[in-house]
Chain A
Amino acid sequence: MHFPGYYEFFCPVEIIAGHRALEKIPHLLNRLGAQRPMIITDKGVAGAGLADIVIAAVTPKLRIGAVEDDVPTDSDLKTVHEFAVNYRKKGCDAIIAVGGGAVMDTAKGVNIVVSERAEDLMQFSGAGALTRPLKPLVAIPTTAGTGSEVTLVAVIADHARNLKIPFTSYFLMPDAAVLDPRMTLTLPPAVTAATAMDALTHAVEAYTCLTKNPISDAHARLAIELIGQNLLNVVNEPENADGRFALAVGATLAGAAFSNAMVGMVHALGHSVGAVCGVPHATCMAILLPYGLEYNMHKNGELTAQLLLPLAGSRVFVQTPAYLRAQQTVAFIRQLNQRLHQDTGGRHARFFKEVAGPDGSAQVPMEKLEAIAEKATGDASILCNPEELDFDDLVMVMSHAWAGTPLDRNRVKKGSLQI
């Protein structure tokens, strides 16, 4: 068991999970001293009827103070301030966030503004700016998922200045995360696939990168097992409520893991592809995950090998010779991406060349690979990656992730960083 020199683990978010978990929210808010929540969601979630399911489950025990369903696809500074004004105007005393990552981040931002009575959210940007608990926040994820329901981070876009502003504080963590499979039952197969691969990446990077610890490891292994055992079934059988529940719980476990153990080059590159080309985060994670494991294999291959068990099960693990297990893990993930590609009718992308934008055009042109690599050199996630990466290394990885070809591990420069 890996026992680090020093680590911290903190996940105080109350997890309420089950097929009727939503019905427990009134009692929960009551315990938190709140009675008049604002629901924050987006048009997609509202259009799928999920906000109505939540409202039906919590009323009439709770009186909903306001419903805001206009969260943009990435959370936005202006939106945060508008929602905060309405929160105060309607006398709300809590937030229920129903949605994916952007909704969660928006809700966290609104909670800062209303709790601190701030005029400008920006004064709380960065790490450690908050100094006291915020008002009650309940997170109901509708994807499985970003794990944002248990993280201490929010990223809010300032579109006016074309910037993404991070907010980091333990006080940002929701009071509770409510995991109810009704919230993901209608998630389309391609989104199910990509968001589950996002969750898988969180767990895998938490387990294989530099700041892992025994508790995050245990969370990560269970997350990988739940996702590995259920993802393909759910993509092919979308109304499998037990499978949906398993993926939701797996995503939250993965969120707790990476929130306490950080991530690595998969996220560094993924953030950059998202920033430069607008590719959704989950799509980037699915494509880049095997490349991160390949690149780092000479440093952390033993850890990657261990993940073959929760990912592929005992039979595959036992019949794979120990020295080949790390490669087998990578192969399994590639195969998973391939199966998901087939089972979603081609919508789940296996490599960047086949990622198409809303207008059908290629979203990641080859000419952008260097810009992506340049941006990734400045991404904080690169700090916890087991192997060092410079611009040339990142270009090399991106060129393979673009074309869909495995890395030539002989071209990976072996740095002096001891892990």
Chain B
Amino acid sequence: MRLPEAFSFANPLKINCGSHALNHLPIELAAFNANAPLILSNRDQIGRKGLKTVIDAFKTSGLALGIYDRLSDQPQPDLMPVLVRMYQDGGCDSIIVVGSGSVVDTAKCLNVMISADDHVSIEDSDSKMTDPGPLRPLMLVATVGGNGDEVTGYASDGVRRLRSPRLVPDVAFIDPTMMMAGRDGRNVVDGALIALVHAVEAFLDDSTGPMCRAYADAAIGLIVQSLPMALGKTDRKRSLCAVVNGQVAAGCAFFASSPGICHALAAQLKASTDIPPGLIMAPLLPHLIDELGGTQPERVGELLNPMVGADIFAGTAADLKTPLTVALFWEFFDAINAELSLKIPMSLGEAGLTDEKLEQIRSVVDGNGVQNHVLRIIDRARKGPALISG
């Protein structure tokens, strides 16, 4: 293993994962001297049962809870002053957010607004925030449908994507009782694929160091090994728990590295298709791996270990590791597609992206250095897995 010349890593998140994880909520709050949480959620996302499960964790705690469960799955800037008043009037001292996506972004932004000095506000700062200082305790109850962004220091306020290590939640609770998947598994798969791509790109990022790689390694193993079973018909909660654990680990790795090529490309492509972002990123990934296998064959080959274990990793000849890894990702997508009604597209064409649109994106890419990787990935991903024609 080659280490970078220098690296740094920090992850302030605590992970509580498994049976009865939620029972630790009052204890973790107490560790921060907090005893008046405001619980935020989207009732449509987690249902009455989901909220009740969280509330039940406080049954014997004697704590008074503030609850607002009408958040939507889109940013709500107009709601922020209302939430601030609710928090302050309710005498709250901490936030518990249940769910994923915008719900968590809202909670993070609220935390800045109720914690920061008067002269620091989100409206006044640009995307890389001035340090808002220590925030109030923020607990995340992770659910299916997240993609790992929830545990990063990123938050969207509806206009900008903010970034600060202070935004990272203090504790993530991953409890099987909160693992409620939709009927066709789409909400599971989309987030899991985004997380997987983030984890793979962090794993392949040479500059981040081995601590980041450890989280990425764990994330890849958890998602690849558990996602197919999480979509099955029986005994899903444990597998879903493992997938969500993988998403959380992926988020930790992603925040420590920089958004990669697949992430950036998918961001450009998503406006041109109805397909969820995770399902756009997925068909890019094998081509990214194929590309990077040319410049970083050893690191790409190491992906085999978390994906399929030590025997196959060690026993595969060096020059076959990259092609095998590529093939295994296609097999992984195929296994997931067997359980899904909305399939992962095998090419950008299948994702509904026209040649015209792809040309448009190609034309803004300069064609130097890493951009050549990008161009080749777009070209190969148009067609899908490499097959001999005939």
List residues of chain A with CB under 8 Å of any chain B CB: 1, 3-21, 24, 131-132, 170, 213-215, 217-219, 221-222, 225-226, 229, 242, 245-246, 249, 253, 256, 306, 309, 314, 317-318, 322
Contact = CB atoms under 8 A, between A and B. Distances in A.
Contacts, number: 122
A4 B33 contact: no
A213 B174 CA distance: 14
B7 A6 contact: no
B20 interface: yes
Given A11-B11, A15-B9, A214-B222, A219 B214 contact: yes
Given A6-B21, A7-B17, A226-B1, A20 B221 contact: no
A6 B17 contact: yes
Interface stretch (B40-48, B61-69, B205-213, B366-374): B205-213
B12 interface: yes
B245 interface: yes
Nearest to A215: B218
Contacts of B159: none
A6 B31 contact: no
7 contacts: A3-B238, A12-B11, A15-B209, A215-B15, A221-B217, A225-B1, A309-B310
A15 B14 contact: no
B19 A15 contact: no
B296 interface: no
A335 B218 CA distance: 30
A366 B3 CA distance: 44
B8 interface: yes
Contact of B5 (A5, A16, A19, A213): A19
A238 B306 CA distance: 33
A249 B3 CA distance: 9
Nearest to A316: B314
B98 interface: no
Q: Which 10 A-B pairs have the closest CB atoms?
A: A18-B6, A6-B18, A218-B214, A14-B10, A10-B14, A314-B314, A218-B217, A214-B218, A218-B218, A12-B12
B156 interface: no
Given A3-B245, A7-B15, A17-B8, 9 more contacts: A6-B20, A10-B15, A14-B8, A14-B10, A132-B33, A222-B214, A222-B217, A249-B3, A309-B313
A280 B16 CA distance: 35
Identify which of B1, B211, B311 gathers the most chain A CB atoms within 10 Å of its CB.
B211
A242 B2 CA distance: 9
A246 B6 contact: no
A314 to B, nearest CB: 4
Contacts of B5: 18-19
B390 interface: no
Contacts of B115: none
B301 to A, nearest CB: 10
B242 A3 contact: yes
A306 B305 CA distance: 11
B178 to A, nearest CB: 14
B211 A215 contact: no
Given A3-B242, A7-B17, A20-B6, A217 B218 contact: yes
A16 B214 CA distance: 16
Contacts of B214: 215, 218-219, 222, 253
Interface of B: 1, 3-21, 31, 33, 209-211, 213-215, 217-218, 221-222, 225-226, 238, 241-242, 245, 249, 306, 310-311, 313-315
B162 to A, nearest CB: 19
A249 B2 CA distance: 12
A222 B210 contact: yes
Contacts of A306: 310
B7 A18 contact: yes
Contacts of A131: 31, 33
A215 B209 contact: no
A246 B249 CA distance: 24
A120 to B, nearest CB: 23
Nearest to B224: A1
Contacts of A132: 33
Nearest to A12: B12
Contacts of A10: 13-15
A375 B207 CA distance: 46
Identify which of A3, A253, A314 gathers the most chain B CB atoms within 10 Å of its CB.
A3
A166 to B, nearest CB: 19
Contacts of A309: 310, 313-314
A16 B1 contact: no
B245 A214 contact: yes
B14 A8 contact: yes
Contacts of A314: 313-315
Contacts of A246: 1, 3
Contacts of B11: 11-12
A24 B33 CA distance: 32
A1 B225 contact: yes
B340 to A, nearest CB: 23
B187 to A, nearest CB: 21
Given A11-B11, A12-B11, A318-B315, A222 B6 contact: no
B221 A214 contact: yes
Contacts of B311: 322
Nearest to A246: B3
Contact of A17 (B6, B17, B20): B6
A21 B9 CA distance: 13
Contacts of A16: 8
A328 to B, nearest CB: 13
Contacts of B12: 12
Contacts of A11: 11
Contacts of B245: 3, 214
Contacts of A226: 1, 3, 210
Nearest to A4: B18
A25 to B, nearest CB: 12
A20 B8 CA distance: 12
B215 A15 contact: no
B8 A245 contact: no
